[in-house]
Structures are given as structure tokens and as C-alpha cells.
């Protein structure tokens, strides 16, 4: 998301769609445009995280203001405190993610709807419709607000300000236009993805109800600790469950109060506000109890502010000691959940949480700072080099915005720069670091630790101009895509039953490649008669970033079958486009195709 937002800031791209959803369909792009706002001021992921936090803080203030306006001072305090302390609200305000924007957007949408349709504030009607579109264009779950809008229209149908309605619809249409264009242009592909995702048919189960209770009451937040939750104190589990039970009671009580007041004939703004909050809270259950695709917890974030509003409605509906008692219950629940959130933050910052919360941003910031101090450019060794789909590639790429850097999939390649460069190695990409170490290209290595038990980030300096010690190819081996094979290094014992490490070096001699294609390398181990004994294929570097002069060493593991004849052995290497499988032939001195591969051998270990 931050990568797309930076592209908007730089004017490189104005996307019609956002990141891919869990279903496979691309999400609307509005979140990317929203996150571009803080990045205009400070091109760091920290600015986007702070933006998320500030929006959610605004959502808390708006919840307090709305509850206070319709149900009184104590109701406002209870509602605001419960929203602010809900552990899920706390943690959904600390990331760069579309669902993290849903609670404040939903609260703003509902609050303007109340002001416009219940109080007759004309400007708020247009704002409500625009915010409804904004919520939906941020995440599909914004559609859960549509029934609330429909109910508001019914309530205020006799005094609709049509000019403001038209303005809100026009602004909403403008926000939806990019995504609508994408859906129309790629409608066949979108329908195919939806058809595939829903092909197993719909089922009705309790998943949505479980997640509804979890999200709206603040229950189950210990799941953020992953496997480490087993070591958490029993007392905290009790606090979590009791506080969630209190919030659930207040939530249900607020919904019942709205219904009782309605059937008593009290059709004032306070009654409508409570009923609409109940409808808002219930909509995720209506939408997701029967589902054709998996239901996830973050789908319920759109309804999170409805729970504190309903608690406020209950507090405001009673008087005397009952009000004080319910207000005290809400305050105790908020205090307990606030303490729980603090305890979770401390635990998350201190130890690894496998299966739970991800890597803290602080470790990444420290590693990026240390790397920038080493050299003016950087090589980022990551497990997967596609910044649009691979997490570490996207994360580290953002941290090095404005710094010349190259993304290299360390599971298969090592790029040797012509000048000194900083090296950052993400967990899972250590194989590439081994290649640098073998050829003596890396120095000043240091680890940037994370939490206890967590894999560190490794930072070091790559020496520029290192020529890897390889067994030379012999005659020039230039392929049709401009790649020239330089030589190889074989580590291990060349014997039946043994596994060897095969490193093949190449450089981009000519810019003949197609930047829109992906090139893969093949390595065929042959016996003395030319029979294939083993094979290893793999991708190279992101082709759009290839530069003439790039020197790359790629590493593969091959196991020689136990029944293979003894050596000598040879290796046939080459490249092809993927997935088209178009071979890149070896060229002769005249530049004409001479063979479909390069034959190296007899092989010798080094």
C-alpha cells in the first residue's frame, strides 16, 4: 500500500485498483490515495502509520462527540473510552492497511448521517454520501453501511436537501470512478476470479458471529501474541473475558433500549440514533453469516465503533443510580481493556509472536538507518523480489525510498555491484549472503536484533567491483537476451548420492532483454553420455531493473542420483522466458543462433 501511495506522490502511477484481496479480486484504490497524503509531507512508512493512528484518534473523538450529543455527557465519556481502549481498535490503528481505516471512516459516515438526516444539517447529507462512497472504496466491507444510509433516507425523506444529495452523489461517484473503470475494463477476469472463489457454494456457520463478538467487545486479543499467548498470565485472560462480557452486556442493552423507546412511540433523535447504531452493529452478521468465501476478523472492523455508541445509548437512557452504575461498569471495562492493551503492547515488543503480530517497525527503521550510513546505495537481499506481492521486498523498498537500491531474491541470486553498496539481508534470504561470503564480497556484517527469539536483520557492506572466483566458460557465451555466462563454481563431491552447490555467474552484456518478460535459468547435470541426471531451474532478477554491467551469481542445489554412473559430468545451462518458455539461444560471433544452451564441462570442484 505504501509503495502504491509513493507512486502517486511521485506521479509515477495513479492506480485504478489497490492491493489484492484475500479472495483474489483487487481492492479499490482509495486507501492508496489517502496514504499518499502523509507521504507528501514525509516520505517514510512512519508517516503512514502515524496517519492511521491520527485517523483512529479522530474516530474516538467523533464517537465521544456523537454519544454526548444524543445521550449526554456520561454517555459520551463511556463511548469514547470504550472505543479508545478496545484492544482491537488499538492494534488496528498501528498498521498501514485498508481495514485500519474503516473504523474512523465508518464513524464519520454515521455521524454525518445523524447530523444530516436526524438534525436537518444540509451540508452533512452530502458529506454522509461522500463518506459512504469513501468507506466502500477503501474496503468492500464499507457496503455494510449502505443499509444504515437507506434507513436514514427513510427517516428524513420528507425534508431531503436534494442539492446536497446530488453533490454527495457526484463526489461519491468521483471517488468510485477509478475502480469502476477497472471493473468494467477487466470485467471478464474479475467475474472469473469471483466465480472461482465462490465455486464451492455458500455455507452458513458461526464464524461471523464469533468474529463479531471478538471485534466489537475486544475479546480474544491475546491471539495477537500467536503461540506466545500460551505463556501469558491466567489473570490477563480473566480480565480480557470479564471486560468483553461487560461490553457485550452494554452493547445489547443499548440496542434493546432503542427498540423499547421506538415501540413506546418515542421517535426522537436519541431513539433513532440508538436504533441505527444497532442496525450498523448487526449488518456484518447479516452479510457474513452465510458466505461463499472465507470470513476474516478484519471484515468486522467496519462495525467496531457501533459497540461503544450502543453502550453510550444505554447509559444515557437510564437515570439516577442506574446511570451511575452503568457508567461505572463502562468505565471499569474501558480501564481493564486499556490495561490489557498496554500489557499486550509490552509483550508484543519484547518477544517473538509466531502466528501473531508481525515484525515491529522499529527494527526495520534501525536497520535502514545503519545501512544508509555505510554507503550511498544498497542491495536488499529478500525472500522474493516482487515489491507488489512479497512482504519483505515491499517493506524494505519503502524504507529505502530516495536511496538507489536493488531488490534481489536472496534464495537464488547475489548481485555484485560495481561500487561499494550497503547490504541488508532479510530473514529467509541468507543463501544469498552465503554466496557473497564465499567470494569475499561482504564485510562489516552486523545483526540488527528484533524481539527475543526473532530472526535479526543483517546489515553489512558489499565491496564494489569484486570479480567472483569462477571456473571460466572459455569462449564467449552470449545469449539472445544479452546475458553472458562467465563461469561457475561447484562446491561438494561430484559422486553418486551426493548433493552439490552449483553457482553460475553471468552479466548483462547487452540491453537486448524484454523488460516485460521474466527470465528463468535452467541447469541440467549430464553424465558422460549426455544423459540428464539432475535439473534445477529458477528465476533471475526483476527484469525491469536489469542494468547493463550487472554481475550476478545464482546458486542451486543438485543431488546426483545414487545409481548414476561415475563422472566425468557436465552441465548444460541456459535461459528461457517464463511462463512463455521461449528459449534464449546461444549466439555465435556473427550474432546468429548457434545452440539452445551452453555446455560446461567436464566439471571440476572449486
pLDDT recorded at residue 356: 64
For 280-339, what is the HEC assignment?
Answer: HHHHHHHHHCEECCCCCHHHHHHHCCHHHHHHHHHHHHCCHHHHHHHHHHHHHHHHHHHH
- Average pLDDT taken over every residue of the chain: 92
Same domain, 77 and 113: yes
Q: Contacts for 584-592 with beta carbons within 8 Å, 24 or more apart?
A: 584/479, 584/480, 584/481, 584/483, 584/519, 585/479, 585/480, 586/477, 586/478, 586/479, 587/478, 587/479, 587/480, 589/476
In a domain, 112, yes or no: yes
In the listed set 350, 385, 402, which residue is the last one of a domain according to the structure? 350
In a domain, 521, yes or no: yes
Specify the 3-state DSSP secondary structure of 601.
coil
pLDDT recorded at residue 606: 67
- In this prediction, residue 306 has a pLDDT band, given cuts at 50, 70 and 90, of very high
More confident residue, 312 or 267: 312
In the listed set 350, 375, 406, which residue is the last one of a domain according to the structure? 350
Same domain, 338 and 284: yes
In a domain, 72, yes or no: yes
- In this prediction, residue 158 has a pLDDT band, given cuts at 50, 70 and 90, of confident
Angle between the N-to-C axes of helices 306-317 and 320-350, in degrees from 0 to 180, rounded to the nearest 10: 160
The pTM for the full model equals: 0.82
Please give the share of the chain, as a percent, with pLDDT higher than 90.
70
Task: State how far the Cα of 230 lies from the Cα of 222, in Å rounded to an integer.
Answer: 9
Mean pLDDT value across residues 385-405:
83
Find all residues with CB under 8 Å of 427, minimum gap 6, and list them. Answer: 383, 392, 455, 456, 457
In a domain, 122, yes or no: yes
Task: State how far the Cα of 340 lies from the Cα of 237, in Å rounded to an integer.
Answer: 9
Mean pLDDT value across residues 162-174:
96
In a domain, 356, yes or no: no
Q: What would the pLDDT profile of 186-220 be if each residue is shown by its tens digit? A: 989 889 988 888 888 889 999 999 999 999 999 99
Mean pLDDT value across residues 298-313:
96
Same domain, 152 and 259: yes
Is 90 exceeded by the pLDDT of residue 545? Answer: no
For 282-294, what is the HEC assignment?
Answer: HHHHHHHCEECCC
pLDDT recorded at residue 241: 94
Q: Contacts for 603-606 with beta carbons within 8 Å, 24 or more apart?
A: 603/488, 603/490, 603/494, 603/567, 603/568, 603/569, 603/570, 603/571, 604/471, 604/490, 605/490, 605/491, 605/492, 605/493, 605/494, 605/500, 606/469, 606/470, 606/471, 606/489, 606/490, 606/491
Task: State how far the Cα of 73 lies from the Cα of 316, in Å rounded to an integer.
Answer: 8
Task: State how far the Cα of 39 lies from the Cα of 52, in Å rounded to an integer.
Answer: 12
Residues spanned by the domain of 8: 2-350
Per the DSSP assignment, residues forming a β-bridge with 442 are: 462
Same domain, 413 and 527: no
Q: How many CB atoms lie within 10 A of CB 429?
A: 25
Please say whether the dihedral angle defined by the alpha carbons of residues 493, 498, 501 and 503, taken in this order, is positive or negative: positive
Q: What would the pLDDT profile of 53-94 be if each residue is shown by its tens digit? A: 999 999 999 999 999 999 999 999 999 999 999 999 999 998
Same domain, 37 and 68: yes
- In this prediction, residue 228 has a pLDDT band, given cuts at 50, 70 and 90, of confident
pLDDT recorded at residue 147: 97
Same domain, 499 and 379: no
pLDDT recorded at residue 447: 93
pLDDT recorded at residue 357: 66
Q: What would the pLDDT profile of 7-16 be if each residue is shown by its tens digit? A: 899 888 899 9
Is 90 exceeded by the pLDDT of residue 34? Answer: yes
Same domain, 104 and 194: yes
Is 80 exceeded by the pLDDT of residue 177? Answer: yes
Mean pLDDT value across residues 233-261:
93
- In this prediction, residue 348 has a pLDDT band, given cuts at 50, 70 and 90, of confident
Peptide linkage before 568 cis (omega within 30 of 0): yes
Same domain, 366 and 264: no
Same domain, 213 and 322: yes
Same domain, 27 and 161: yes
Instruction: Report CA-CA distances (Å) from 295 to 69, 141, 155, 289.
Output: 35, 11, 32, 9
pLDDT recorded at residue 327: 95
In a domain, 414, yes or no: yes
Residue 543 belongs to a domain with what CATH number? 2.70.50.60
For residues 317 and 329, the answer to whether their CB atoms sit within 8 Å is no
For the chain, the residue count is 606
Least confident of 239-243, 279-283, 430-434: 430-434
pLDDT recorded at residue 358: 66
pLDDT recorded at residue 398: 85
Same domain, 407 and 339: no
Q: Quick one: which H or E segment has residue 514?
A: none
- In this prediction, residue 19 has a pLDDT band, given cuts at 50, 70 and 90, of confident
Mean pLDDT value across residues 388-396:
81
Is 90 exceeded by the pLDDT of residue 605? Answer: no
In a domain, 606, yes or no: no
In the listed set 462, 490, 516, which residue is the last one of a domain according to the structure? 462
In a domain, 269, yes or no: yes
Same domain, 29 and 138: yes
pLDDT recorded at residue 317: 92
Specify the 3-state DSSP secondary structure of 160.
coil
Number of domains in the chain: 3
Alpha carbon 280 to chain centroid distance?
27
- In this prediction, residue 24 has a pLDDT band, given cuts at 50, 70 and 90, of confident
More confident residue, 56 or 235: 56
Pairing of strands 483-491, 471-478: antiparallel
Is 70 exceeded by the pLDDT of residue 355? Answer: no
Is 90 exceeded by the pLDDT of residue 460? Answer: yes
Alpha carbon 218 to chain centroid distance?
23
Cell of 520: 528463468
Pairing of strands 405-409, 378-382: parallel
Count how many Cα atoms sit within 13 Å of the Cα of residue 436 in the half-sphere of its side chain: 33
The phi, psi pair for 35, rounded to 5°, reads -70, -15
Amino acid at each position: 500500500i505504501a509503495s502504491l501511495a509513493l507512486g502517486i506522490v511521485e506521479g509515477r502511477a495513479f492506480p485504478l485498483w489497490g492491493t489484492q484481496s484475500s479472495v483474489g479480486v483487487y481492492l479499490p484504490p482509495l486507501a492508496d490515495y489517502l496514504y499518499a497524503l502523509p507521504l507528501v509531507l514525509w516520505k517514510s512508512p512512519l508517516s503512514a502509520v502515524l496517519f492511521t493512528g491520527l485517523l483512529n484518534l479522530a474516530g474516538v473523538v467523533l464517537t465521544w462527540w456523537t454519544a454526548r450529543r444524543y445521550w449526554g455527557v456520561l454517555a459520551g465519556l463511556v463511548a469514547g473510552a470504550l472505543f479508545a481502549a478496545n484492544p482491537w481498535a488499538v492494534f488496528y490503528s498501528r498498521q498501514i492497511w485498508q481495514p485500519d481505516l474503516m473504523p474512523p471512516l465508518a464513524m464519520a459516515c454515521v455521524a454525518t448521517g445523524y447530523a444530516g438526516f436526524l438534525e436537518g444539517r444540509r451540508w452533512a447529507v452530502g458529506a454522509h454520501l461522500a463518506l459512504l462512497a469513501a468507506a466502500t472504496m477503501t474496503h468492500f466491507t464499507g457496503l455494510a453501511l449502505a443499509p444504515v444510509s437507506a434507513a436514514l433516507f427513510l427517516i428524513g425523506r420528507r425534508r431531503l436537501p436534494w442539492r446536497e444529495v446530488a453533490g454527495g452523489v457526484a463526489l461519491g461517484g468521483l471517488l468510485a470512478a477509478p475502480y469502476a473503470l477497472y471493473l468494467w475494463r477487466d470485467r471478464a477476469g474479475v467475474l472469473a476470479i469471483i466465480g472461482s472463489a465462490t465455486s464451492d457454494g455458500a455455507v452458513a456457520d458461526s464464524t461471523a458471529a464469533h468474529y463479531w463478538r471478538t471485534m466489537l467487545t475486544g475479546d480474544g486479543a491475546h491471539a495477537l501474541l500467536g503461540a506466545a499467548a500460551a505463556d501469558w498470565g491466567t489473570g490477563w485472560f480473566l480480565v480480557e473475558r470479564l471486560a468483553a462480557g461487560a461490553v457485550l452486556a452494554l452493547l445489547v442493552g443499548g440496542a434493546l433500549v432503542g427498540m423499547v423507546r421506538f415501540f413506546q412511540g418515542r421517535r426522537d433523535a436519541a431513539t433513532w440514533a440508538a436504533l441505527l447504531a444497532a442496525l450498523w452493529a448487526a449488518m456484518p452478521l447479516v452479510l457474513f453469516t452465510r458466505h461463499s468465501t472465507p470470513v476474516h476478523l478484519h471484515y468486522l472492523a467496519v462495525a467496531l465503533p457501533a459497540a461503544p455508541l450502543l453502550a453510550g445509548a444505554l447509559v444515557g437512557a437510564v437515570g439516577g443510580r442506574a446511570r451511575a452504575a452503568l457508567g461505572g461498569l463502562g468505565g471499569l471495562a474501558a480501564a481493564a481493556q486499556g490495561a490489557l492493551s498496554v500489557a499486550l503492547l509490552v509483550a508484543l515488543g519484547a518477544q517473538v509472536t509466531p502466528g501473531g503480530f508481525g515484525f515491529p517497525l522499529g527494527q526495520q527503521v534501525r536497520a535502514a538507518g545503519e545501512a544508509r550510513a555505510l554507503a550511498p546505495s544498497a542491495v536488499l537481499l529478500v525472500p522474493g523480489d516482487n515489491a507488489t506481492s512479497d512482504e519483505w521486498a515491499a517493506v524494505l523498498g519503502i524504507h529505502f525510498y530516495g536511496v538507489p537500491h536493488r531488490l534481489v531474491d536472496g534464495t537464488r541470486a547475489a548481485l555484485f555491484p560495481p561500487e561499494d553498496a550497503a547490504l541488508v539481508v532479510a530473514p529467509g534470504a541468507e543463501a544469498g549472503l552465503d554466496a557473497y561470503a564465499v567470494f569475499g564480497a561482504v564485510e562489516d556484517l552486523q545483526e540488527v536484533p528484533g524481539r527475543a527469539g526473532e530472526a535479526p536483520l543483517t546489515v553489512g557492506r558489499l565491496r564494489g567491483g569484486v570479480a567472483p572466483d569462477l571456473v571460466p566458460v572459455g569462449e564467449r557465451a552470449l545469449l539472445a537476451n544479452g546475458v553472458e555466462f562467465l563461469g561457475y563454481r561447484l562446491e561438494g563431491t561430484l559422486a553418486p548420492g551426493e548433493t552439490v552447490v552449483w553457482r553460475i555467474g553471468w552479466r548483462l552484456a547487452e540491453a537486448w532483454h524484454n523488460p516485460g518478460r521474466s527470465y528463468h535459468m535452467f541447469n541440467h547435470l549430464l553424465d558422460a553420455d549426455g544423459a540428464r541426471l539432475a535439473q534445477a531451474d529458477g528465476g533471475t532478477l526483476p527484469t525491469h531493473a536489469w542494468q547493463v554491467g550487472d554481475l550476478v551469481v545464482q546458486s542451486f542445489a543438485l543431488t546426483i542420483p545414487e545409481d548414476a554412473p561415475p563422472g566425468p559430468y557436465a552441465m548444460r545451462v541456459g535461459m528461457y522466458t517464463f511462463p512463455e518458455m521461449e528459449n534464449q539461444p546461444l549466439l555465435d560471433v556473427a550474432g546468429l543462433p548457434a545452440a539452445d544452451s551452453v555446455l560446461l564441462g567436464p566439471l571440476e570442484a572449486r
